[in-house]
Each structure stands twice: as C-alpha cells, then as structure tokens.
Structure 1
Amino acid sequence: MAWAQVPQVPNELRFADLTIRINEQARREIQSDVDALYRSPTYFQTKAERVNLYLPLVERELRNAGVPSDFKYLVIQESSLIPDAVSTSNAVGFWQFKQGTAEEVSLRVDNQVDDRKNIVNSTQGAARYLKKNNAQFDNWMCALVAYQMGLGGARGYFGTQYNGKKVIEIDRNSHWYFKKFLAHKVAFESPTVRLASNSGYLEEIRVQGPTTLKALASRLGVSETHLKEYNKWTAKGNIPDDRPYSIIYIREDTQQARPAIAQNQPTSQPAVTTVSSVSNTAYPKVTGNQTNATQPNQIKVNNIEGIKAAKTTTQEKFTDQIGIRENKFRRINDLEKDEKIEAGQYYYTKAKKTRAEEEQHVVLPGETLWSISQMYGIKLSALKAKNRIKEDRDLKAGMMLNLREHIKRGEDIPMVPASEFRKVVAYNNQQPSPTNPGTVSSPQNTTVPDSGPTTSNSNAKVTIHTVVQGENLFRISQKYGVSVDDIKKWNRLSNNDIKIGQKLTINKP
C-alpha cells in the first residue's frame, strides 16, 4: 500500500459533546504518540485491518447504549482489537476487563465462556461502565479517565472541577490516559485507515445452544478453525443454552466492504462513516411486540411510541381505529390533510424528536425529506432547518444530510464521493428493509436455533428458490434445513455470492 502522511494533531477538536483545546506543549506530546503509531507501516496496516473488521459492531453497540461513538477509539487503545489480549495486571479481552469488573457489568467469565473476548458482549459491558462513570461527572473526559483509574480514583483526581463542563483545556498536566486516547482518535480517524485491504466483513448471527462451533461451521460455509479464531470467548468451542450468543465470522464480499471509522476529509467532501450507519436499512428501529405492530401501544419506532399501518386507508379511518385525534396525528407525522395512510408504513403516535440518534444520512434515489424524517423519527421542520433546505426539489441523491447538528451558515450540503455513494447504494440494495414484512431481520437481530449440521438426501424433493432482497446462503440454508455447502454444490457456486432474482436448486429433505 502507498503510505500516507502521518495525520497532525490540531489545536482544537471535538470529543463526544466536548470541545477539546490543546496547548502547543500538549499537542507536541500527543503528536509524538501519533507518530509512534504510524512508525511501522506493517504494524499499522495489520491493526487497521482489525479496526475495519470490528468497529462497525463496536459503533453499533455504543450507539444502542447511548454512549458517544468516539469511544470506539478506546477499544483500539486498550487491546489493539486482539480478542485474547492479556495485560500485566491480568486484564483480559477487547476492553481489558479484570474478572471482578467484568462480572460487575454483567459479563460471564468462567471455564466455559469469557464474555471479555466477545466483541459484542464486552462492548456492551464497557458501555455500561462508561455510562456509570459519566453519571458521576456529567463529563465524558472524566468518564474515560475513570475507565483506567476506577471511579474512586477519578473522583480523587478530578474532584468536581469538570462536572458539566463542555470546553476542556489540555496541557502538560492533563491526565496521560486521555492524551493517549486523543492520539488514537487522531491516528485512526485519519483517511489512512481506509487503506486497509479487508476482502470481507464480520457478519454476526445469534445462536441459541446447546451446540458447537464445529456443528455451525459447515452451515456457515467456513471452517471450524475460522470460527474458533473469531470466537475465542468460548473456551472449547461449545455454545451453552443459557442465552443466545453472538457468533461472528468473516463474510467474503468485496462489494460490501465497509470502512469502519468516520474519515476526516478537507473541504465539503466527507467520506461515509460506516455504510451500515448511513444505510437506511437500519432504520426505523422498531422495538416492542412486533407481532401486534398494527395495534396501539405495542411498539416503539426509534424509541417513540408508534404503530404500523395494516392497510392503505384514509387518515380519518386510521385515527378512529387507533384512538387519536386526526389533527394531532397529522401534526405528529408531518402529513398533509389529503395524504393517504400507506400499508406497511410506520407512523408515530407521540411527538417526533428534534434530533435523530444517527448523525448523518446519505440521500438515496427516490427519498424525500418526509420519508427521511419518518425513517429517523426527526421532525420534518427540524430536518429542514438543520440542512437549510426547504423543498424536495432541492434534495439530490448523494447528499449527506445532518440529523443532529445544524450545518454552518453559508456552507453547502456536502455530497458523498461517487465511489462511496455506489457502496451505500449497493449495500442498501442487498439488505432487508424494516418496513417490508416479507424480508428477514438484519444479522444483528437474528436468532438462529441450531439443530446440528444437515446432509444432502438422494430422495430429496427438488425446490427452486428465487433469491429475494436481504437473503444470503446461510439464511436460505436455515429456511430449508440444508447446509451452505450443499447449496453451493447443487448450484455449482464457487463462492457465497448470490444476486436478487437468482434461481437456486434446493434438494429439500
């Protein structure tokens, strides 16, 4: 790879909701750490490849827990994303927990399972720990330092001087751990990280035991050794039956390669953060009793009370059915008086918010300001104001809309570079839509009961399966109770790539 220039530490940057101002002496100190991280191109490249693999999952769990995504750089600092890393003080795993602290944040650590080596569970534990720290200080810098010192040590070190403070001055006396963190943030949010050459990405499934990695391997189309490499949390390859467990493996697919970290770029050409985070397939987020989603008081949409329309009808009939005043419903959902209620669409029954959970959205062909506002649960007026845009005719595919902060006055809405936009469109086209009841759920929400590997049967019934949006070979194998290898053999597939509309022969047992 062509080695890029080492990124330079600025005099001011943003971390979480804080403005960090760095004096020159501290800046040189942090720059020295950045230089050290870049000193060996081979070492940095190896670490960057792990970063690109693991951080989409880390970002997701931090976001779901309400912890600023900047903390993703902390896991790099702690373990270099090595799952079985062990420190001199016997801290273990991705987030370097000692056993007592791990159990304190509800991680399982015993002779069968070590959640500290599970990227999903350990990130959830880290998020709980960081939120507890922040509750004491109302300051994410103090919460981060408390991760290293412990809450009592941080209270003694900081006192209350930073409680609620939003502008932090960093100098030679500032805590070394936070300065080291800033070095990792500068180093790994650099565009250089995108030079990592991953040929695939981590896919996650959730499996309810009892079963084994060996039993899962053939069904996933990977080796048992591969599963053991990426699931070191299970000591002997056994998956217990006490709860669903996250299993991760590399899915080879260069077209869906997803950069892990938001990139800093000059002018108005920011790169995409993760394709998953700007992909509208992740939204709206629907929770609650989804089997009764068409009934009132059953679900939340983006953590706001909502409902799914069972059929296309008028606003008057729909609001009568769900027991809400028509004018109020129309105001909540930013609807015009004569607009129809569309079957399968999610609507809100409580007020939408002025800021979305996600920071940005890449506009795709066919989207409108209204559809985007509904997708994220943000008021239409707020979406327009944040982006200084008034009409759908001003909306262009490839625009990067702000969902939380206002764009600066006088600035144009940035456009995603064409190469990145193609990735976003391709990724969205291959993912299931939450608003389409005919598709499967996304990988992170899939629970796969296991009944062991299956084999082909010479007396099997032949079925022709047409690939639909959101499917992959593993999900199809689950549907028919066959293995991925069998499907590949029956259809003479050289790899796991399939396309929407493709016909597959299935010898159903």
Structure 2
Amino acid sequence: MDLRAFRNIVYLNLLLGCWLNSNSFASGINPYSPVVPNEVKFANVTFQLNDVTKYLVINEMKDIQSNRQVLLNTLEKATLFFPIVEPILREQGVPDDFKFLVNYHKYQSSVEKNGISEAGVFWCLDRQKAEEVDLLMNAQIDERKHLIRATHGAALCLKRNNILYNNWGATLYSLIAHKKIVNQLEINRKWANTSGTNNEYIALDSPAYMALLQFLAYKLVIEEEFPAFKSQAPKIVYEYPYSKGKSLNRISAELKVDLAVLNEYNPWLLVKNVPDTECQVLVVIPANRFNEIRVLSELSKKSGVPTKELGFPLLKRETGQAGNKGKGGIFYQINNLAGIQAEMCDNAVTLAYKADIPIKKFVEYNDIKENDLLQIGQVYYLESKSARASVPFHVVRNGETLWSISQTYGVKLENLLKNNRFETVQRLQRGRIIWLQSVRPKNKPVEYINMPDELEAIDEMVRAESDPELNEDLFNNTPMKVDTIVLVDKEKTAIKESTSVKATGNEVVLATKEKELNSSPLTQEIRKEETKNLNLPKSVDSNNTSSPVLKKDETESKTTPSIAPQSTNTLKDKTTEQGNFFYHTVRKDDTLFRISVNYNVTLDDLRRLNNLSSNIVKIGVVLKIKQL
C-alpha cells in the first residue's frame, strides 16, 4: 500500500467517525451515563438500592449534570463552605458526610411531593427545627441563613436526632424531610439499629424515600466532580469581627469588596445595620487578599460605631495650597496644630514625606513607632502636642486607649501618663476619669463613672430602622420619672429627690458644673439601674456655695431635650436671616458639632439658643445659630 492510499483510508475513517458521532447526538443519546452501585455508603450506614430506586438515582444524577453552570456554581460554593463546616462537624462528633447538606436545598414536605427549601437557608432548616436549637429568626436577622450560626445549629440538631433514632441514616432523613413524613414511614421502627454493630444496612426499596434518593444522587455527583474541580480564582470566607452597628455599604467601602458579593453571602441580615448579635458579616474574598483584608479590618475597627459627641479633636481642613508641599496629602488644623490625614496605603514614611518633615519628628509628634500601622482617615500631628488639654477631664469609652485620648485632645502621651500616675501604658477600663490638665493628687483615688454601653445605641438605631414609630418616640416630650444626681462640694455626692422631667428615653442625667468633664455641656447619661454604685469626681469648687445643688425648676429646664421649633416655611437655602438671628435648617448627615464648626460658634451657644440638652438634632429642624 502506497502513502496516498493510506492517507485516503485514514481520511475516510475520520469522516465515518464524525458521521456516527453526529447521528448519536441527533438521536438524543446522552453522552453522560452515570454508574450507580447497588450499595451507597453514608457515615456508618449502607443504603441498599433495588432496580426502581437505582433508576431514580440515575435519572436524578443526569438532571444535575444537565445544567453544567449550576453544577459549577455548586462546586464553587463547596470549595468555600467545606473548610468552614468540617471543623464544626468534627468538634460536635457529627460524621463528615453530612457536610454535603450545607448547600443542599431539596426538601420533602409530603410522601407524594418534594420541593425546594426557603431561599438562602442552609442545612434545609425549617422554622420548627431552627427554633428547637435556638436559632434567632426575627425582624432583624434570620440565623438559618448565616453559614456559621446555621452550621452550629444543624450540628446540634443532628446530634439530638441521632440520640432519638440511634441511626445516622434516619438522622439524615429527619433533616431533609418533614417530621410527619418520618413518622408516617415509621423510620424509627424500621431503621432502628438492633444489631449493635457499627455497620448498618438500610433498604431503600420504595419511591417514598425520594428525598433520600435525590440527596444520594447529589452526593454522588459532587464526590465525583469535586476532586477534579479547580476554581479559577481561589476564594475564602472571612468572618469580619467588627460588624456591629455597620451597614453592608460601609463594610464594602472599608474592606474594598463588592457590595453585591456581601449581599449574596449575608442574606441573614434583614435590616440596614448589623444589630448586637453573635452573627458577623461574612466576606468572600480572593485568597491572596487575606492579609490585606485583615489590615483593613483592624483599621476599620471603630468606624461606624455610634458614640457620644466629644467636641474633640477640633478639625479644620486647610484649603488651597495651605500646608501642601507639592507632594500630595490632605492637611488639617487639629486642635490648633498642623496635621495630615492618613489615606489608603499611607504609613509614617509617606506622611512625613508629604509633610516635608523628618520621619523621626513625625513619629515623635504622634507618639508612635515608624513601623506602626496607621488608621485610615485619622489626622496625625505635624507639630508637637501640648502638655495639657483645654478641658480638665475625660471619661474613658469602649475601645479607647491612652494613645487615642492623647491624639483626641492633642496632649503628649508622656504627660497623660504623668497626670494619671501610670508607670507604663496600660489598658483602660470604661468609665475611668482621665486627668488631662494636672496631676491627680496622691490622696485622691482613681474614679469611675458608670456609662451606657455603646451597643445600646446600635440596638436603638436598628430598632428605629425596623420600627418607624420608634423613631418618632425618640423625640416626643412625654414626661417621665428620672433621677437627677448632682455633684456637691468636696468629697460628697448627693442624690436629689426624683422629679418629673421630659427625657428622650430611660436615662438618668448627671448634671455637673460646666467645667468638669470631657466637653460642654458636661453631663453624662447613665442607665437607671446603674445609679446605685455611682462614683463621681469630687472636683467642684468648694468656695461656690450657690452652685452645688440645682433647684427643681433649673433641673427641669436644663434636662429637657426640647427640639428647636420647626419652620412652617420651606427654606430654599441651608441658612436664613430672619429677625435678629441667623438660622440653619438641619440636613441629612448634619450633627450639632459639625454645624458649630461650620458657623464658628460653640456647642454651648447652640444648645442655649435652641434649648437643647443633648446633641440630637432632627432633619428639617430650624436652629438658631447666632445673633446678627
């Protein structure tokens, strides 16, 4: 045979093969033909199939394989969820095979009918099963849709059911089928482990077990495909630890992640801001961004948490080229000193370069080390801080440190240590009074003030969002009973008789002399139940005999958070001249402190002119700013 004849034979064979292949597809022959064994292992159970149930499993496997994109998405989520789920199951003593249930959504509601579980729910948990393991389901969150909380709940449910049925096969069926189905099919009687051995055999000889047959088909497909599956961009699930009080929009901006991805993996959150709960926001990120996300997470630790307005630091942005050395940077006046704001990727070296000062000076001014991580958005000093603050005391809040207090008031850290008789920097307890201007006398003990938990503000914010009527209640003037605690001279404190005043909530107002604590007005709001063990600073001037105790009328007028009168006319501009006063209409994102800075007036003057006893201002309210 010559070369030409050989080539012709090969060519004809290729044509014949292509023709046969095209005919097979045209005739509807499915190239995927799964092989299903007569026995399928699950945990320590062996499910035995007959011809009918085996046929049903094969058809289900073909259905799963027919939609390739859905299968790939399922495998993608398996690579994400299995590393989270496996340790929890192992810790609870649940067999590893149950991990295939985490993202399984088919559910048998009756003997004749199979359906799909509620969208976003993990582990096929219906409301009854979730309530049995104390998963929260309310207007704010649904823990069945939180991967980690749902997994802990499902593991507990599986352990309990295994004690009841003494059989992991029956336990599996109890999770993917309604309770009445399990009872109707007498699973507990038929599948009870009477042999006492570790190996159990269960015959699946009827289509009535359709929920189990569908799950076994799903498990066989995932087990077959998973080893060969490789994600294009490996991803991990990061549990963001500083979620409370923040919205997904804010977290998306802080961590530089896609908001759509956050929404996809956090369907458990039913309100805008994360309430005080054990659930943390889950962030799905590329594996190579893990270290970056951890850094951004720490930098965003305190942002977004509602706190009381201090009035410090005093910030004024430099406009134009003031302070700019032509090297970039955002410059401020902070507490009347030069400052620069840290941006993404900034460190001590880059900020010193932008400010055109030596690195040694920059770290000295800010009491930091050259390799310390800088907080994004924080304004750092470009001049030496002062030896004393403009107010005498500060009350420590959650998460505050001596360094953060020194930055807030522009006081050198060494002076804070000296004033408060600290030998080294140490952790501060919430409510401790920090001396900012002078050294605490040796014979004066360390003092504390009971302060409300910041998480109460988060809960109030979330409740107001989910209940519109609550938002209105915050501003009503319904008289209520509160306790007024007044400082007296020297080392004594006195509790004045309870008096009926108007207040914004269940709070006790601590009225002190105006020069005492953080900023003006110098009042502290504390929970009513915490007034028994109150320890207050004893620093009221003893020579002033007229100020220690407030009269009843004065107490009512100073503690009534009356809202400024609302204008009946719609103002076109933010500010208006009317009569002898300059007015401002409160807009979204306005705060009393921001308004005072914008118009160069003090918080005291704003509160006095508008009869305010707190920093809460409502959108649309018209405030008096100053006299013309």
| TM-score interval, normalised by the smaller of the two chains | 0.3 to 0.5
Using structure 2 for the length normalisation, give the TM-score.
0.39
Query: Larger Rg: 1 or 2?
Result: 2
